[in-house]
Structure formats: structure tokens, C-alpha cells
Amino acid sequence: MKKWLYLIIPIIIVVLDQITKQTITRTMEIGESIPVVRNFFYLTYHRNAGAAWGIFQGQMLFFYIVTAIAVIGIFIWMHKLNIAKERVLAISLMFILGGAIGNFIDRVIYHSVIDFIQTIWWGYHFPIFNIADIALVCGTLLMMVDIIYFDRKKSKDLYFTMD
């Protein structure tokens, strides 16, 4: 598969992320909450001027710089990556790229991130999140799988071939 085809993943993520956020901003008021599954899943319109759990509130320059470095780093990494041997890593990077760009767009336009997915697990109100956040988490988990499973497998193959 050609490297540029992997860009379809972040494009889909960004489009879905922005469509859902625009739908929320057009149909709900900030702070409004609509129960989808009572005591478990709500659509709640929230703006976060920070990162996860509200850390680094209002530090937009910090987020611009970190996102720019991450995006540039991912493009350099993808350019050097052997896709035929590193598919899981490539996909994980594309999920991270899509999530980073989705939230970056919000930060540039609104100086905050639009969040709207609220879940409650065993009484704990998990921080409200969005599609870009889901992509970032999935990309990070895929990268962990790649590091733990595939790197270990490559190390074993290398170890056994050295004998």
C-alpha cells in the first residue's frame, strides 16, 4: 500500500470530528446535556481550553507548538517508515495525526476544544471528550500494541537468527 493512502485515515477522522462538533455547536447550548442512555451516556456540550482533565487551561501557544511538532514529527516518521513491515505503527500514527489535527482546528478557531461525549462508569463522571480524543487514544493504544507485541516479536526473531 502506498504511504499517501494512509492519509485517508486522518482525513476521515478530521471530517467526522468536525462534522460532529459543528452539529453540537449548532443544536446545543454550552452546558446543555442530552441523555442518550441515562446514567451512562450523554451528549453534553462543553468547551475545554486545556488538555485532558482540563490541565494547562488557556495555554494555547503551548498547544500550537506541541501540535505542530507532533504533526511534523509524524510526517517525518511516516516518510522514514517501512510501511510493509510497520503497518500497525503506521495506522497508529495516522489515528494520532487525525486526532491532533481535529483538536488543533478547534484551538485555532475557538481557542478551546469542543467536547460532547460524556460517559459515567460506576458513578464516575469521565471527562467529556470528542471524536479526535477517541482517535488519539486509539492511536496511542495501537502504538502500545505495536511496541509490546510486534517489537518483542521482532526482537525474538532477531535473537533467534543470531544463533
Flag whether pLDDT at 55 surpasses 90: no
Q: What is the pLDDT of residues 15-46, one digit of tens each?
A: 999 999 999 999 999 999 999 999 999 999 99
User: What is the distance between the alpha carbons of residues 29 and 76, in angstroms, rounded to a whole number?
Assistant: 40
| Catalytic choice (17, 133, 146, 151) | 133
The chain-wide mean pLDDT, for the chain, equals 90
Of 106, 115, 146, 163, catalytic: 115
115 is catalytic: yes
113-149: per-residue pLDDT in tens? 999 999 999 989 989 999 999 999 999 999 999 999 8
pLDDT at 4: 79
CA distance 23 to 34: 14
Amino acid at 142: L
- Alpha-carbon distance of 145 to 147, in angstroms, equals 5
Tens-place pLDDT, residues 87-98: 999 999 999 999
106 is catalytic: no
Q: What single-letter amino acid sits at 127?
A: P
**Between these two residues, 12 and 155, which has the higher pLDDT value?**
12
Q: Nearest CA to 128 among 12, 59, 30?
A: 30
pLDDT computed for residue 58 by the predictor: 74
Which of 3 and 108 is assigned the larger pLDDT? 108
pTM confidence score: 0.86
CB 115: neighbour CB atoms within 10 A? 21
